[in-house]
Amino acid sequence: MVIWSIVRRKVVNGGNGNSSASSIVGQSWKSTRATASQPRYYGALAKETSLVARGSQMLNSVGLPSYLASHLSSKAMRVTVPCLQTFNTGIRLFSSDNGGSVDALVPFMGESITDGTLATFLKKPGDRVEADEPIAQIETDKVTIDVASPIAGTIEKFVAKEGDTVEPGFKIAVISKSSGPATQVEESEKKPEETKPEEIEDKPKPVAEAPASPKVETSPPKEKPRAPPPPPTSSGPSPREPQLPPKDRERRVPMTRLRKRVATRLKDSQNTFALLTTFNEVDMTNLMKLRSEYKDAFLEKHGVKLGLMSGFIKGAISALQNQPVVNAVIDGEDIIYRDYVDISIAVGTPKGLVVPVLRNVEEMNFAEIEKEINKLAKKATAGTISIDEMAGGTFTISNGGVYGSLLSTPIINPPQSAILGMHSIVNRPMVVGGEVLSRPMMFIALTYDHRLIDGREAVLFLRRIKDVVEDPRRLLLDI
């Protein structure tokens, strides 16, 4: 590719200035033509140069990521992704015809993502940007991706509009290396040129008005006799028709790609699984007491707060190990049992619901779980979470209690087989040891695929979580 760019530059410039471009091309092909005294690899070199030329044209027209995505298999793409990312950051595509400007291109968005929607511009034409500084955001079905400036310079213009569908390699903006004034985004936004006075032709004089015709007196038309009003009915006044709400009080907003994706997956879950939900209630006294006693020491040693979610995750791990069918999944006519636990945590963000995954969580302690939850939650809220951090997962936990939910029936996250729903902690009168006491109680719900999981297994699963949360010492003794 580099060799061909040098050859092309020499052809355009006319070589050393002594020969024309056509003579240089002719000399180059003559020198590479195989003869009796020359080896055969000279002919192979000419053929290879032709292939490189055609490849260069293809890459310039469709972009490197799209070119690779259309010529490589999915397995090869997974191997090529790291190299492609290195190429994108190390190679700056530009054209010398536009004064040293550089094109900002849509980056590679993931193996399963072919396009996205240009959501918003983070900069304006004329703004000064640094290298790798985000200038726009692209919204995909799963994540939001930044388009970064390839160099430090000034945004000359944007060549795409918000709402456009873009693909990897698509040009978004032109970055000028100089700090000169920026041009307008579109031709339609340019101000119309002022017309010179001498260019204005004399306007034709208006045609003289024709003389008015004499008025003709006409008699006013006689009014027709009105029909008598219908006699009143004994049923009283007729009811008024219902008034539709005025249009100015309604708003129509297009669905975001993330919302479309969530809607599709939830409907697929409802159509695919035999959904059934079972409930139980948990006395949170001991877990809350444990957290209250050790939260300061835990924060001082591990640098992270001790929450209640880690206790439920530990309880879910124990329950999944006791009831492995809940951690399994139906695949065609087979059942796949997973001997590892990857727990997805549902996180609500301003842009929609995302589900980051805690991988191999059965090997983590309380501190590692809390740190991983905080890290993924911050990324999800900021919209910087990657696709790999949301892929997979064998079981999901959703905590609607943070929003005040008292009870719900969560829906399964495909292709998993079950989901645990946590809810608000409410003090309720409970009978403890023959006495009525006020206890902090929480309802928990398990929605499961009844095609795979029987009711007995689902009830025992929830019962195990209840036992661990109500008495965390069971985790230490493994009972």
| Catalytic residue positions, numbered | 450, 454
- Closest to 441 in 3D by CA, of 469, 413, 416, 402: 469
**Number of helices (H) and strands (E), helices first, in the chain?**
11, 20
The four Cα atoms 325, 330, 331, 335 give a dihedral, to 10 degrees, of 40
Amino acid at 415: P
Ranges assigned E (strand) in 91-226: 94-95, 101-105, 116-121, 128-129, 134-139, 144-148, 153-158, 165-166, 171-176
